Amino acid sequence: MKHHTVTESPYGPLTLVADGGALCGLYMVGQRHRPPEETFGVRDDDTLFDETTRQLAAYFEGGLKEFDLPLRLDGTPFQCGVWEQLRKIPYGETRSYGELAGTLGNLGASRAVGLANGKNPIGIIVPCHRVVGANGSLTGYGGGLDRKQRLLDFESGAALF
């Protein structure tokens, strides 16, 4: 059974969704591909999300570089492969869509990687914001390019909240 809560962040409210003890969603207000609210399950502001909110707070304070949470990423095998590669991009670094396609063994799959990246259900924690165009340009982000730039600036040390 799914449960959700809403927590504040420097990017506005974040909706956290869990199912079976694992985080299965982190959605920003106005996010593209955000599922309908009624799919988030009952609201639970008690202890279910304590560790997730603690780690998010530590991340936003600059003290946490890698999340350690039980995650459940539901998608196609290709999407799950892309999302697993996203988790391997180190804090403060970026990769291009083509580089990710190469790690999956298909250099021609850049667009498919971009589509899977855009449907990442656990933003920030599964760092889809760390993927940029081949020339380093900002391209697409479900949470908006302004948020993507702010996250990249934050992780590079160029900006603090």
The two tokens of residue 87 are: 């988790």
Where do the H-state alpha helices sit in 25-96?
Answer: 50-60, 77-86
Strand partners, 23: 18, 71
User: What's phi and psi for 118, nearest 5 deg?
Assistant: -65, -20
Q: Choose, from 128, 131, 132, 151, the residue flagged as catalytic.
A: 128
24 as an active site residue: the answer is no
Q: Phi and psi dihedrals of 148, rounded to 5?
A: -60, -45
What residues act catalytically?
A: 128
